[in-house]
Amino acid sequence: MSEDSFRSVQIERTSVGNYVARNVRGGSMSLGTGEDTSFTPVELLLAAIAGCTAVDVDYITSRRAEPTQFSVEVTGDKIRDETGGNRMQNIRVEFTVTFPEGADGDRAREALPRSLQQSHDRLCTVSRTVELGSPVSIVETGGSSGD
């Protein structure tokens, strides 16, 4: 792996069921079980899908015109079954985007469907990984001693 392709975050426990996620640039956010206002891991997954696609679409369309409204809602069903375990299904990404009247707005409106398709088909790393699947390995690195 090259240095520019490697990504990482670190999670630290703050109390039972509560954690802080940190990135290498110094950003942080709380997450937990959903018993308070913190995001749950599933909500973070949905936010990552929305955010990744939003960035793609925004960069493509806003070169033509600044949107007057830009929002994304991601929904899905969390299910539990014997064969697949806990997982999300029926994930749906819904964009509400409007542009001003005029030639620039017309160009942005024209670019919107293609930008959505490009993000879905090849640009958004998050949704591409979810759809194509990627093995996840869990490794223990020590610290379990009671000494």
Q: What are phi and psi of 139, to 5 degrees?
A: -130, 135
**How crowded is residue 30: how many other Cβ atoms within 10 Å of its Cβ?**
13
Q: What is the mean pLDDT of each run of 10 residues along the chain (147 residues)?
A: 84 96 96 95 97 97 98 97 91 98 98 97 96 94 68
Give pTM, 2 decimals: 0.89
What DSSP letter does each residue of 83-111 carry, written as one string?
Answer: TTEEEEEEEEEEEEEE--SSHHHHHHHHH
Q: Residue 19's pLDDT is what? A: 97
pLDDT in tens, 59-96: 999 999 999 999 999 999 999 988 889 999 999 999 99
Q: Residue 4's pLDDT is what? A: 86
